[in-house]
Amino acid sequence: MKRNLFTLFLVLALLTFQGCAATTPPPGSKLLIPLKEANLQSVFEENEGLEVTLEDAKEVRDFYRRGVQQKAKAEKLFQGKNYPEAMKLYGSSNECFSFLLRYIDEDSAQYELFEATHILFFPNLLVADNYLKMGLILRVMGREGPAERNWKRALSFLRESLRTEPSEWGLAVQQEILNLMPSKNK
């Protein structure tokens, strides 16, 4: 009798604990990360410092940092209208991100780099922004078709970024691309 009572109590206790367990939020219910918390300038600042060369890149985080550093250089050249060099650096940046996306394909506003060290980790969004800028360069060069292809690629990376970590930054890049594309290609 005592054993049956104990077993019943144990089962009820386990059911009670399971009922109190937190459930995961339904898909699509993630909060939108504000622009002041996740933006391109913040990503650049987090990855400043010692430059990572391709030969030195051994871990996924090295490829991310190199991709961000290449993008930062490309942005400066883009602003200075040195388009051929900017295109090369955007391509180099995308190569680094493509490598790491094989292993970690989700963006995160709180990616744990080391114990208690978190960074903004947005490889999908950064690739999308690179394709946006490459498309703008191609448009300036009078190559509308290749520009639109770059923007279409950007939209596929943006969808993945917004699916895994919705952000105002991602929505702003998406809106910019949609404004550039002809309505038939959206």
48-90 per-position pLDDT tens digit: 877 888 888 888 888 988 999 999 999 999 999 999 999 999 9
Q: Give the residue ranges of the chain where pLDDT is below 70.
A: 1-29, 113-114, 183-186
Contact partners, residue 102, CB within 8 Å, separation at least 6? none
pLDDT cut 90: percent of the chain above it:
51
Sort residue 32 into left (φ over 0), alpha (ψ -120 to 50) or beta. beta
Cα distances (angstroms) measured from residue 101 to each of 78, 121, 125, 157, 171: 25, 11, 11, 11, 21
Could you tell me the domains of the chain?
34-185 (1.25.40.10)
Tokens matching residue 8: 């019943």
Q: State which amino acid sits at residue 27.
A: P
pLDDT, position 9:
58
Helix axes 144-164, 123-140, angle to 10 degrees: 160
Tokens matching residue 27: 């898909």
